[in-house]
Structure formats: structure tokens, C-alpha cells
Structure 1
Amino acid sequence: MIKQDELTGLILAGGRGRRMGGRDKGLETFAGQPLVLHVRERLEGRVAEVLINANRHLEAYRALADRVIADAEEGFQGPLMGIYSGLRAATTPWLVVVPCDSPALPHDLVARLIGSIGRSDIAVAFDGERLHPVVALIRTALADDLGEALSAGERKIDRWYARHAWCRMDVSDCPEAFANLNTEDEKRRLELALQEEVPRP
């Protein structure tokens, strides 16, 4: 069983936010606080350290993480570069990867990933219909292999995962977990849906 001190959490917040008009998605307000804080709550107390991968507004993010790391290479090269940067920065054998814009991830996400990994090197979230490759548990020893793949021009996460022993983590019981938050309308819809789920006194 993987223990807390063997895990580093990585929140991916290094994108351009093009679908939100260029705004920094992780710092967008959702239910009264930045999106990235909702995601951090799923990691806090379950990992040894929480990292945020960001390429702008670094000072704002430093107040929200144990460490902020920029992409190892400039140019907004996508989430696979963010994952590589996290694998390099982690000081533990395992890295839990989550996106900054999924505030409805299950609170037991880390436990689910640990329970799914078995003898695999990578566990990837699966909602019953499709994979969500930016929600994963990855062995940090794969950093050099990913660096080689990136140098060869690879930018597709699923293709890199396919090079290794990977498995699915079932989250089909959490239908809102991967709701898209690329527009203001999508954000408002999820806020309302989650408010309706809160038990009334």
C-alpha cells in the first residue's frame, strides 16, 4: 500500500485558458474561492506535498501550494509537459496528477488511485465511458522516459501512457467529477448542481 509520504500532489494550472478568454483558469472564482483551492482540498492531508504547475501569476499560486513549478520548457506545450515538470520536481516515488478546473473530483480520489494501481506504473481515471488522462497516479521513475518522449515530439498523454503498464481507476459513480469548466455557463451550471447536492438542515 502506498503511504502518504510516498506521494506528491500536482495540480496542472499551466495552460493558456484560451476557452475562457485567456483568463487563468485556476484562479477563477468557483463557489466563493479559486478553482485551484477546490482541487487542493482533494490532496491536502493525503500527500506529502502539493505542487502547482503554473506558467503565469506565479506569486498568486505560491500562496496556494507548498511549491509552484513552471514548465521545464517554455511555450505552453500542453499538459504532458506539465506532468513531466511535476515528475522531475517530485521527491517521492509517486505523483498524483489533477487538473485545476475539476472542483467536483471525489474527496477520496487519492485513496481510489492507490487502491487501483496494483502492479501498474500508472492509474488513470475512467468515468465508465472515457478516460480522463490528467487525473492519474504515476510512478516518478518514469520521468526520464517522458523526457525522451517529449524530445521526440510526443504531446499526447494517452500515447505516452500506452508505453507503460497502466490501469483504469473507476469513478463512474461520480457523474459530476469531470464536468467541463471552459466557459462561464459551464461553471455556473456546476455551481448550481453542487449546491443542490448539499444536504439541507
Structure 2
Amino acid sequence: MTSAPLAGCILAGGLARRMGGGDKTLLPLSGAPMLARVISRLQPQVGAVVLNANGDAGRFSRFGLPVVADPIEGFAGPLAGVLAGLRWARAHHGEAEGVISVAGDTPFYPADLAARLMEARGPDAGRIVLAKSDGHMHPVFGYWPVSVADSLERFLREGTTRKVLAFVNLHPNTAADFTPEAGAPDPFFNINTPEDLEAAEARARIEA
């Protein structure tokens, strides 16, 4: 865990259309729900973890985490999940400077994600930091200052777009580079299709 007080938010609100609908985070990977692997990677990196998901929270009860729904009506995308995490952190962990967001369908993300995001942030607790690798941004993986919560809610309720980078560019921000070494697998490989899940099973066996 980093020295800065942080909360973690797992974004599990995707519609999973290419997986046939439902909660792809609950699909089995190496004999356990994919979400279990995501949780186990995040918990050592932050002080507390919340799960962002809509609908019946009871389907996640086995994981023992608080579950918060999007505070914006309709499917408002990942920024609504980030806002849910920020509101939860402010209410329940007032000491937290920010929230580390991760995607629930990306089981191999870096085990040092929070530390490297904070290193890129530097001393400015109000700076948003997003992950990138191989020149591509991964806007679902980032550090979000608690101080931007009100601005984010206004953006989602009043703005004409809900694109992550459109909001990020309204605030001080930077990126943390997670480009892997040549030949190393993509740390932000996410599961969208049954074929992706098969590839993840193979990778999990190698990394076991």
C-alpha cells in the first residue's frame, strides 16, 4: 500500500453485451470469479475497497465489500462509477486523498498500480493520473482526487459528453506509463468475449 491515504473502486457496471449480458466479473477464471482476482490485486494497494455496480447488490455479497450504484441515472459510463467511488470515499474514509479506479474485467492489471500512479502524481494531491501503455491511455485505471467529485457530478449532469478524457482535461492531470518490456503481456488486457476469457485462462495458468 502507498503512504498516501487512498480508497479503491472496482468498476463493474459494464453491460457485457459481447459476453451475452450479465455480470462478466462473476465468470469463473482459474476456478474462482474473475472479480476475486481483481479484488485481491487491489486490496493490498489501498486502505479500503468499494465495488461500483448497479442492480441487486446481493449478487456480490460473497465478496464482503460495500457496493455502490451509479449516482447518475441511466448508463453514464465509467465516470459515473468513479463518482460513486469518490462519494463513498468522502462519506466513509474522509482521510482519503483520492480513489484508485480499476476495471472489474481486467484481472492482470499491475500489482503496483497505485504506487506508480502516485509516483506520477507527485505532491499535488489534486492532480488526476491515468494509466497508459504502448501509447494508449487506459482511462478506467487512474487516481482521482476526492476534491474533483463536485466538478465531476456537474460535468455528468450538465455536460454534452461523458467521455473520460473530456473531463480529465478540465483539471490538472498527467499519465503514468506502464508499457511492458518487449515480449511481456499487456497488463491491461480486458475480457470482452468468450475468446478473451479462454486467453485469460491460459495466461492465469502460466502465472500461477
TM-score w.r.t. the length of structure 1 is 0.90
Provide the alpha-carbon RMSD of the alignment.
1.8
CA distance in structure 2 between the partners assigned to 1:164 and 1:62 by the alignment: 36
Gaps of 5+ in 1: none
Partner amino acid for 1:184? P
Match of 1:155 among 153, 156, 162: 162
Given that 2:30 and 2:204 are in contact with CA atoms closer than 8 Å, whether structure 1 keeps it comes out as: no
8 Å contact kept, 1:50–1:65: no
Structure 1: 4+ residue segments shifted above 6 A: none
Q: Partner letter of residue 127 of structure 1?
A: S
Count of residue pairs brought into register by the alignment: 197
Confirm whether residue 177 of structure 1 aligns to residue 187 of structure 2. Answer: yes
Aligned identity (percent) is 36
Partner secondary structure for residue 42 of structure 2: coil
Identify the residue that residue 103 of structure 2 maps to in structure 1.
99
1:9 is matched with which residue? 8
Matched, 1:135 2:141: yes
CA contact (8 A) 2:131 2:142 kept: yes
TM-score (ref. length: structure 2): 0.88
**Equivalent-residue separation in structure 2 for 1:32 and 1:133 (angstroms):** 29
Change (3 A) 1:14 1:65: farther
Q: Distance in 1 between matches of 2:201 and 2:56?
A: 25
| SS at 2:36 equivalent | helix
Q: Which residue is equivalent to 1:189? A: 199
Is there any run of 5+ residues in structure 2 with no aligned partner, and where? none
Within-5 A mapping of 1:1-201: 3=3, 6-90=5-89, 91=93, 92-118=96-122, 119=124, 121-153=127-159, 154-173=161-180, 175-198=185-208
Offset of residue 28 of structure 1: 1.3
Distance 1:14 1:104 in 2: 19
